[in-house]
Structure 1
C-alpha cells in the first residue's frame, strides 16, 4: 500500500513539474512577444484593426480583368521554368547529399575526420539562407538561371544532408552488423542494407524539398532576374496589381498541385 502511494506521489510530482515548466515557457514566450512589440513599436491592436482596410484595398485593386488573362501563357511559361529549375536543383543536391550523409552518419562513416568534415560543410551550407546564397552568387555569376540554380542547390544540399543523416542513423543497425559479420565490403553493406531501408524516407525528403524550393525560387527570381520571380518583380514595380494577383494565384495553384501530388507519392512509398 505504501509503495503504491509513493509511486502515485512521484507521478504527481512529475506531472506538476511538467505543468510548471509549460507555464514558465508560456510566460517567457508572452514576455518576449511583449518586449519585441515594445522595441519595434508594433501595436497588435492596430495591426488587427487594419485587416478590414487591407482586405478592402485588395478587393478593389487586385481583381484582374480579361485583358490581364491574355498574359497567362507567359506567366505559365515562366512558372514552368521556375518549377524545372527547382526540381533540377533539388535532385542534383540530393545526389551529393547522399554521399555526404554516408560520410557523416555514425552508422556508415569511413573515419572520424571525414565525418566531422561532412557535417561542417553541410552545416555551413544549411545555415546560409537561400536569399543570401542568391546575393552572393549574383556577384559572381550575374543575373541568370545558373545563379538561381546554384542558390537553390546550396540551400537544398545542407538541409538534405542533415535529413539523410538522421534517416540513416534511424536505420536498422542489426542488418548492418549482420552483413559486417559475414565479411561484406563497405559498399556492399551500403547498397544491400543502408540504402534499401533509408531510400523511401529519403525520397520523401526530396519531395518535400522540391515543394520548398518552388516557393523559394520565386524569391530567388526577384534577386537573380529569372523565372516567375522576375515577372512578379517587374509588374510589382510597375504597380500593375492585376498582373501581380494573377502571378500570385498561379504560384499558389502550382504549389498546391505539386504538394497534393507529392503527398500521394509519400502515401504509396512510406
Structure 2
C-alpha cells in the first residue's frame, strides 16, 4: 500500500492559510483590545514624530549638565554595586537550590518539586512588585532595592541553573557513581566543572539586566540613580535626566562588552 504525500504546492498553500488565519486572529484581538480601552491608534501614530522631536530637543545633555556629573556618577556607582551584590548573593543561593532541584542531582523528588515551584513563584513576580511589597517593611533604602533584585534574581537563576544542570550528560555522573563516588564528589567533580561556563554566563547576563532594573527600582525606593532621574525630571531639568539616561546606556554597553570578553575567556 502506497502512502500519498501532499504536493509541495499543497503544503505551502496550507501553510499560508494557517498563517493567514493566525494573522487575522491577532488583528482581531488587537482591534477588540483597542476598542475596549478606547485607544486611538492613528492619532497616536501621528503624534510620534512630534514626541521624538520634543524628546531630542529637551533630553540632549548640555554644558549645564556637566555640573550634575558628580552626583550622577556617585548614584550610578551605588546602583551598580547594588546590582552586582544582589546578583552574586542570589547566584550562590541559586546554585545550591539548582543542585538540589535538578532531576539528575536532587536527593528527593519532593524537594525538586518544592524548589521548582518556589523558583517559578519568585521569578514570576515583577521586580517592581517586589519593591512595592518590601517598601512597607524596609522603607525607602538601598536594602529594599537589594532585596527586590535578590528575590527576582533568585527565582530566575534557580530556574536557569536547574535547566543547565539537567542538560548535562548524565552518563558522566553515572560513570562517577559506578567507580564509587559519593553525592558531593559527583556534584563538585562532575557537575560544577562541566556547567561552570554556562552558569557564569547566566550570572553576567543577570548583572546587566539588574543594572537596568535597579534604575527602575530606585524610583520606588528613593535611592540610586533612579531616584536622581526622577528628581531631575520632576524639576524640569531634562538635560540632567538625559545625561543620566546616556550614562546608564554607556555603562550597560561596557558591562556587555566585559561580559562578552569574560565568556570568551572561560569558554
| Superposition TM-score, scaled by structure 1 size | 0.92
1:15 CA displacement = 5.9
Q: What residue number does 1:201 align with?
A: 198
Q: Which moved more, 1:189-198 or 1:29-38?
A: 29-38
1:59 CA displacement = 3.2
2:46 to 49, 74, 78: 49
1:227 CA displacement = 0.6
Matched ranges for 1:82-161 at <5 A: 82-161=79-158
Structure 2 CA distance, aligned partners of 1:166 and 1:151? 23
Q: What residue number does 2:266 align with?
A: 269
Matched ranges for 1:1-270 at <5 A: 6=3, 8-9=5-6, 18-270=15-267
1:171 CA displacement = 0.3
Query: Secondary structure of the residue that 1:171 maps to in structure 2?
Result: coil
Structure 1 CA distance, aligned partners of 2:21 and 2:199? 37
Structure 2 CA distance, aligned partners of 1:28 and 1:167? 36
- 1:102-138: per-residue Cα shift (whole Å, max 9, x none)? 1111111100111111112111111111001101111
1:225 CA displacement = 0.9
| Superposition TM-score, scaled by structure 2 size | 0.93
Measured on the aligned residues, the alpha-carbon RMSD in Å equals 2.0
Structure 2 CA distance, aligned partners of 1:125 and 1:63? 38
Residues 241, 181 of structure 1: CA spacing in aligned structure 2 closer, same or farther, 3 A cutoff? same
Gaps of 5+ in 1: none
